[in-house]
């Protein structure tokens, strides 16, 4: 199948498929007589793997490691678990950071009168870097 068909079946864009080829996550596709990329079932299986890993938030570097582990039938599952556990720790760090950002913004919104006055604690905080000054 051509890249458009592979994109449709994999749920990825043709641009992303070309990018994954360019960085080595996917072997460059064979070419038909017309010069167009041709993808087979093995390529689609690998693209599906990449998409699922990316959907879980793994970085491209991590996806590369997962692909290597996936293809290595001698690998220990402990190696895969360690990589996934590290990813969970990173996700938890990001969740904490986002929660803190949300809480700060929520506090600013609560201190904003939201009326016709020009005084705005949200803008003041963006200007000065402080939260909820003057309270």
Of all residues in the chain, what percent carry a pLDDT higher than 70?
96
CA–CA separation, 109 and 121 (whole Å): 8
- pLDDT over threshold 90, residue 113: no
- pLDDT over threshold 90, residue 131: no
Convert the pLDDT of each residue in 41-73 to its tens digit. Answer: 999 999 999 999 999 999 999 999 999 999 999
Are 21 and 50 spatial neighbours (Cβ–Cβ below 8 Å)? no
- The 3-state secondary structure of the chain reads CCHHHHHHHHCCCHHHHHHHHHCCCCCCCEECCCCCEECCHHHHHHHHHHHHHHHCCCCHHHHHHHHHHHHCCCCCHHHHHHHHHHHHHHHHHHHHHHHHHHHHHHHHHHHCCCCCCCCCHHHHHHHHCCCCCCC
128 token code pair: 């000065």
pLDDT score of 65: 96
Residue 107: closest CA among 121, 127, 93: 121
CA–CA separation, 14 and 56 (whole Å): 20
Say whether pTM exceeds 0.85: no
């Amino acid at each position: 199948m051509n890249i458009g068909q592979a994109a449709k079946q994999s749920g990825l864009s043709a641009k992303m498929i070309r990018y994954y080829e360019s960085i080595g996550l996917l072997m460059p596709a064979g070419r038909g007589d017309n010069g167009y990329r041709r993808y087979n079932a093995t390529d689609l299986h690998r693209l599906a793997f990449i998409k699922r890993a990316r959907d879980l938030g793994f970085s491209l570097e991590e996806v590369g490691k997962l692909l290597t582990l996936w293809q290595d039938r001698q690998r220990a599952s402990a190696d895969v678990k360690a990589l996934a556990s590290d990813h969970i720790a990173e996700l938890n760090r990001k969740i904490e950071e986002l929660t803190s950002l949300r809480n700060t913004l929520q506090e600013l919104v609560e201190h904003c009168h939201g009326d016709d006055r020009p005084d705005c604690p949200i803008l003041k905080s963006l200007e000065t870097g402080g939260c909820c000054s003057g309270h």
